[in-house]
Amino acid sequence: MIKPVILWTDALVFLLLLAVAAFALYARRKPHLRAPWKRIFTSRLASISAVILLAYVVIGVLDSLHFRLPLENTEAGQEAHYAVEVLSVFDVLLGPVRTQVEKTYSAPFATHLFTRETIEHPDGSQTRTYPRLAFGGAHLADPAEERGADIRQRAATAVLQSLLAGGLLLALTGALLARRYRKPFRNTVTDILAARTPAPWRAMLLTALVLLLLVFLSVNLAGAYHVLGTDKVGQDVFYQALKSIRTGLVIGTLTTLVMLPFAVLLGIMAGYFRGWADDIIQYTYTTLNSIPGVLLIAAAILMLQVYIANNPQDFETTLERADIRLLFLCIILGITSWTGLCRLLRGESLKLREVEYIQAATAFGVSHARIISRHILPNVMHIVLITVVLDFSGLVLADAVLSYIGIGVDPTMNSWGNMINRARLEMAREPMVWWSLLSAFVFMFVLVLAANLFSDAVRDAFDPRLRSNR
């Protein structure tokens, strides 16, 4: 039996998913919350971005289900022993992409190494040539003649598979919408294809079709070729880029969870109570802003590294050590990034405190806690939601910056920041090794772009000033 492994970040990820699900159920029953979200998903760009973000989230969740395999040499009746390596469900799905390790660099879709090596022949002679890869294109007898046709055949198969899966998805969506709106199935599908539905289902299904095409291309090609090449130690770059998705999502979401309590509580308290409470809170975040955040992060990470080095018995595996560093990084980023939202909430609370209905509640002796929970907090939630969604992109990019200067996530953990950091030396080679940097950039760019487009729709839907101007 496998041994489940629950990391700290895994537990927080699933806790966050439960919180999002609970909020969705709550918002569904509240018309004032349901209306803005309906407005969001009437936007074509927002809907497309949501589908892309959902794909990233699915990968992140699958990569958060960790376990350890039992060792095969365990005798009957003895206590089971487990492998040191911690795997995830996503690792199992990737299969050969994870295990097919080459000797060193190879370009995307290459069949030979990127660098020359000296090969000694049986007769004692030596030649300088590009050796064949152990896995990439190994099924080809003559790579120069067969590779192009093989790639085209596999790509054509992926296109047919994606079209079939897209057709099934269209039929399923049409059936669900036909049942919901009590319309004939054929008419519903026609409305979807003609973009006559309230929600942009055609745009979302086309986006899903593109994602399905990428999935089937990966399935058909990644097992036979290194589609994004390999790095210095021969690991598949495509595998590293996919594994980095979880790290980016964890930094973006968990940092927000740490930041929110500080920002919301202190911002509302400063604006509502004013006086000495406002002075203390302003002094706190002003002082914190005067200290470069990089210095605080570096100091915290160095102290954590000292603790890990002095207490190795607290961590069974390398992944657990890397995970605690990731969690600590999220905590420090959250502590150093709450001041901006706190300022916004303070200003809004100062205005709300002078509104007539809050003055009336105060005159009738309503407690401060009730006024804050029933009147202040609901009226500032649009600011909280907008800021959280907007800050997500900046937090994802922070990983790249911090890893570049050596204080980001653990070097043993896959992340776009570590990929970019390692690519610095690769870019100085002759010939240049460009695919690691490009792969990290593309994956991070798509996530950040989708998050920004979705955040724009959230801002437009929840900001009362924008709604009033329409």
pLDDT score at 403: 78
Q: What is the mean pLDDT of residues 331-337?
A: 86
pLDDT over 90 percentage in the chain: 23
User: pLDDT tier at 165 (50, 70, 90 boundaries)?
Assistant: very high
User: pLDDT tier at 465 (50, 70, 90 boundaries)?
Assistant: low
Which range is most confident: 30-34, 67-71, 459-463?
67-71
CB 343 within 8 A of CB 375: no
Beta bridge partners of 226: none
Classify 415 as helix, strand or coil: coil
Q: What is the mean pLDDT of residues 108-121?
A: 84
Task: Share the mean pLDDT of the chain.
Answer: 86
User: In 70-196, which residue ranges form alpha helices assigned H by DSSP?
Assistant: 89-94, 96-99, 143-181, 185-193
Q: What is the mean pLDDT of residues 134-158?
A: 91
Least confident residue range of 67-71, 202-206, 212-216, 440-444: 67-71
Least confident residue range of 114-118, 285-289, 327-331, 428-432: 428-432
Residue ranges of E strands in 36-158: 66-68, 87-88, 117-120, 126-129
CA 317 to chain centre: 23
Classify 433 as helix, strand or coil: coil
Residues near 447 by beta carbon (within 8 Å), at least 6 away in sequence: 52, 53, 56, 245, 248, 396
More confident residue, 118 or 279: 279
202's enclosing H/E stretch is helix 201-221
Question: Which domains can be identified in the chain, with CATH numbers?
Answer: 237-468 (1.10.3720.10)
Least confident residue range of 200-214, 265-279, 342-356, 392-406: 392-406
Q: Classify residue 402 by burial, with Cβ atoms within 10 Å: 0-12, 13-18, 19+.
A: buried
Q: What is the mean pLDDT of residues 441-469?
A: 79
4's enclosing H/E stretch is strand 3-5
User: pLDDT tier at 74 (50, 70, 90 boundaries)?
Assistant: low
pLDDT at 32 over 80: no
pLDDT over 70 percentage in the chain: 97
DSSP 322-364: HHHHHHHHHHHHHHHS-HHHHHHHHHHHHHHHTSHHHHHHHHT
pLDDT score at 464: 60
CB 436 within 8 A of CB 421: no
Classify 80 as helix, strand or coil: coil
User: pLDDT tier at 457 (50, 70, 90 boundaries)?
Assistant: confident
Choose among 41, 65, 67, 66: nearest CA to 54: 41
The amino acid at 425: L
DSSP 372: I
More confident residue, 425 or 23: 23
User: pLDDT tier at 77 (50, 70, 90 boundaries)?
Assistant: low
Classify 191 as helix, strand or coil: helix
pLDDT score at 418: 87
CB 110 within 8 A of CB 136: yes
**CA torsion through residues 280, 285, 291, 297, sign:** positive
pLDDT score at 78: 67
pLDDT score at 426: 78
Least confident residue range of 20-34, 115-129, 144-158: 115-129
More confident residue, 181 or 121: 181
DSSP 248-297: HHHHHHHHHHHHHHHHHHHHHHHHHH-HHHHHHHHHHHHHHHHS-HHHHH
Residues near 236 by beta carbon (within 8 Å), at least 6 away in sequence: 97, 98, 100, 101, 222, 226, 228, 230
Choose among 8, 435, 1, 54: nearest CA to 258: 8
pLDDT score at 62: 93
Kindly report, residue by residue over 228-243, the tens digit of the pLDDT.
Answer: 999 888 899 999 999 9
Q: What is the mean pLDDT of residues 375-400?
A: 80
Q: What is the mean pLDDT of residues 280-305?
A: 83
Half-sphere exposure of 445 (CA within 13 A, CB side): 7
Distance (Å, whole) CA 327 – CA 347: 31
